[in-house]
Amino acid sequence: MTERVDQRVPSDRSELDPAMLAGAEAFARTWATAVIGSSYVPMTRAEVAEHLQLLTEVLVTALLATPFRTAPGYEIGSRLVEAHFTGTDTLGRTVQLLGDNLLAELGIGVDSRMTSRLAALQGALAAGYARALRERTLAEQEAIRAAVLDARDQAETALRASEARFRAMFTEAAIGIGIADIEGRILDVNQALQDMLGFSVEEMRQYNIRDLMHPEDSGNVWRLYDQLIAGDRDHYRAEKRFHRADGEQVWTHLTLSLVRDDHGEPQYQVAMIEDVTDRHLLQNRLRYQALHDPLTGLPNRALFLERLGRVFAAASGETGRRAGLCYLDLDGFKVINDSLGHDIGDQLLVEVGRRLDHSVSGDGKLVARMGGDEFVILVEGSDSIQDIVNVADRVLHELEAPIKIGGHELTVSASIGIVERALDGTTAADLMRDADITLYWAKADGKSRWALYNPERNAREVARFTLSATMPAALERDEFYVDYQPLVRLADSKVTGVEALVRWQHPEFGRLAPDRFIELAEETGLIVPLGRWVLRKACEEARRWLEEFGDAAPFVSVNLAVRQSRDPELVRDVKRILDECALPPHHLQLELTESAIMGTADEPLEALRALSDMGVRIAIDDFGTGYSNLAYLKHLPVHELKIAGSFMEGLRAADEEDAVDAQIVSTLVQLAHALGLGVTAEGVETPSQAKRLHRIGCDTGQGWFFARPGRPEDVDRLLRGGL
């Protein structure tokens, strides 16, 4: 039903004379004013007046009509309502105006007939108005009620659509969704969550959220939960583990949100749960791989270092905690790997790893593969080194049984370095370094064994290393010097020669005798320049003596190391030095040990022959202590035999004499003389020894009895003053 204002012109408008019209117009204006002030009228004032003018004309026509009918009055009442002139005062004013003004404006006399007609029309107008108004009111009421129902329907439809959307999302979501009230009672869970946890909706509705606590949950997670349901927080995220119905575990990312009502009070909680078990397990696997050796499955170096670090961290502050390491290395692995192939080598490592793990791994013991064929065993909380030795013994035992691989039966052994100590005052790095050193000792000592860390040995080795390292510089800096020990002719106690003995005045270690550094020098090859230096020094000294003492000047006897004897420049160097010192060659004797000469290959032998041909005397030092080839001896370019001092032991006083030793010495002297060689006895310390030697036929003597090794000046004094 539309609500347009009906402005149709009544069809029964009759012709009125101008005077009536004017009166009607005047009345209409007054009427308009009354109406406008009392109703909302969707027309301009002019339009209202015009509208009412028409109605007035109808009224006047009816008033004057014959026959008289009240119907027009009725209709006008209706029209007023249709035109929306429905203010509560409108009817009253209209009726009143009609009564008061109409007849006067029209200029119609007031008589009982007119009054009666007017009254009838007023009545009809009122009735028509009332009826139309009632109709209208009822219609509008009906319309508004229908609108209320429509609006409700709309709202419900929208709500249902929204709920349907929510329902679809809830049900179909791949992520687990759960809803609970503020008390924690679970109200609903979607399929994804049911599948994730293995419970049905009905089962889950029996639970409270607090029932889903997991022992691994951090306290933080539940603190956040309390904050959420108290309304202090709107959401939080957490990692959470759940126990499934079947006992398995799932790892999840959880987001819990608070839903508030219109007043802002907490009303529901909604959980969105994502299953990240796969990711979690993958992370674990990756971490495992990062810390384990892929070949053997044992912990790798990284894990070992981590564990070692933790052992130290746990021990810090606590005194008395100890730990030990076995550093082990398979002997001869390289050979196996190279000869049988890397495949076999790998399988070998796997089997070794397995045996180690099987026999050793356990509480407080970690077996790790460091790389290549190196393994390490960490023993935490050891009581003493014996604990570690036990482990090492077990390892060696385990490796005794041959390993069958690819048709081969392989026997491997291991070298093991053992370190065990209190953790206070040491570091992981120290422990590992010392274990490494000790492993090296085990190998050097012969392999297939364990070795214990020994601080003294370590110190010695460090010292050796230091000496070895500082030797070249020392040579430059003249830290070496040469002492001389007289060689005395037993017949007349004359000094016929001196042995040159090198010493090292070490800034740190003090005065070092040759036994401290000659071997090192041989190892490093420094013996060659050192030897040359000693030779030159000795020759210079010999020259000086020659100049001072002429024929009475002693020769110098200089030790020659094996290494030197193999030096291709040897002959040339000796010649040069002799030339530069202007020393006659027979004033020089070179001493070589028995083993050095006997093991001599061709070329060094040639060198010795050349030297001998030059006039240099060659002596065999420490004779009787090596393995002499006597037949060979005859053909060697040797002039002198020096009998080792150890034989002098038995040549003391006559009544203490060891007959065997005496016999040996005697025989050696005869042997030497038979070969045309001179004999010098070393280590002569007593007069009886000297006497005995002389009686035996020994030519020369050397030892403390005659003189200790001393400075050149001491020799000078001897030469001047005699013994």
**Residues binding another protein (CB under 8 A):** 1-5, 33, 39-40, 42-46, 84, 86-88, 136-141, 143-148, 150-152, 154-155, 260, 262-264
CB atoms within 10 A of CB 183: 10
**CA–CA separation, 224 vs 226, rounded Å?**
5
Instruction: Give me the least distance between CB of 51 and another protein, in Å please.
Output: 13
* Contact (CB, 8 A) for 423 and 312: yes
Q: Name the pairing type of β-strands 617-623 and 403-405.
A: unpaired
Torsion (CA) 36, 38, 42, 46 in degrees, nearest 10: -10
Q: How far is the CB of 223 from another protein (least distance, A)?
A: 23
Nearest approach in angstroms of CB 160 to another protein is 15
Helix (H, G, I), strand (E, B) or coil at 548: helix
- CB of 36 or CB of 399, closer to another protein: 36
- What is the C-alpha to C-alpha distance for residues 89 and 642, in angstroms, rounded to an integer? 159
Measured from the CB atom, the residue of 87 and 123 that comes closer to another protein is: 87
Question: Which of 139/459 has CB closer to another protein?
Answer: 139
Q: C-beta of 39: minimal distance to another protein in Å?
A: 6
Facing residues of 498 across strands?
486, 556
At 234, the amino acid letter reads D
What is the DSSP pairing of strand 588-593 with strand 555-559?
Answer: parallel
* Smallest separation, CB 133 to another protein (Å): 9
Considering the complex, state which of residue 1 and residue 9 has its C-beta at the smaller distance from another protein. Answer: 1
d(CA 679, CA 639): 9
- Residue 420's nearest CA partner among 391, 460, 449, 456 is 391
Burial profile 141-168: b = 16 or more Cβ within 10 angstroms, e = fewer: eeeeeeeeeeeeeeeeeeeeeeeeeeee
Residue with Cβ nearer another protein (231 or 381): 231
SS3 of 325, please? strand
Short-list 569, 702, 691, 573, CA closest to 642: 702
φ, ψ (nearest 5 deg) of residue 400 = -65, -45
Residue 4 or 722: the one with the smaller Cβ distance to another protein is: 4
Q: Shortest Cβ distance from residue 187 to another protein (Å)?
A: 24
Sign, CA dihedral 664-668-674-680, equals negative
Q: C-beta of 144: minimal distance to another protein in Å? A: 4
Helix locations, 173-233, DSSP H: 191-197, 201-205, 219-229
E strands of 191-279, at which residues? 235-243, 249-260, 266-275
Q: Choose between 30 and 589: whose C-beta lies nearer to another protein.
A: 30
Q: How far apart are CB 28 and another protein at their closest, in Å?
A: 15
Taking the alpha carbons at both ends of the chain, their separation in whole angstroms is: 158
Beta carbon nearer to another protein, 263 or 409: 263
Q: Which is nearer to another protein, 46 or 674 (CB)?
A: 46
CB 30 within 8 A of CB 97: yes
Closer CB to another protein, residue 156 or residue 338?
Answer: 156
| Smallest separation (angstroms) from another protein to the CB of 89 | 11
Q: Are 609 and 637 in contact (CB under 8 A)?
A: yes
> Nearest distance from residue 312's CB to another protein, in Å?
53
Cβ closer to another protein: 230 or 552?
230
Provide the minimum distance between the beta carbon of 55 and another protein in the complex, in angstroms, as a whole number: 17
